[in-house]
Amino acid sequence: MASHIVPLKMYFLIFVALLAMTALTIQVAFVNLGHLNIYVAMTIAVIKALLVVMFFMHLRYSSSLTKLFVAAGVLWFAILIALTTSDYFTRPWQTRPDGWVAIEESTPDPRHVTAH
């Protein structure tokens, strides 16, 4: 199987695109978008990662089997992230006889506790 020759110009264009998206990431970091900041930053990061994987790692010109294994790796990573975030978001909860409550609601405020 002959390898695909990528023109040097393509590498420079991808490099300039990565630099531009890095500058965009820095600019977005100084803009208050509220809860959208993480989504914008992650979208830019995913696009940059795709460019690196597709062109610098030559996935674009690889066989279907290689693409299948990359997709399986991404799926496994997504499963791990989903399990981790589900654990993280359920940590501030504890069980009580009257149902589930957040820890903040069940612990007393330290400013109102009197010393004996």
Give the integer Cα–Cα distance in Å for 94 and 99: 9
Residue 30 has a pLDDT of: 93
What is the rounded (10 degree) CA torsion for 29, 34, 38, 39?
A: -120
Find, among 53, 47, 38, the residue nearest to 18 by Cα.
47
pLDDT tens by residue, 79-110: 999 999 988 887 766 666 666 666 555 555 55
pTM of the shown model: 0.66
Give the integer Cα–Cα distance in Å for 48 and 26: 14
Give the integer Cα–Cα distance in Å for 59 and 64: 9
Give average pLDDT by consecutive 10-residue segment, the chain, 116 residues. Answer: 80 96 94 91 94 90 92 95 88 66 58 56
Residue 116 has a pLDDT of: 54
Residue 91 has a pLDDT of: 75
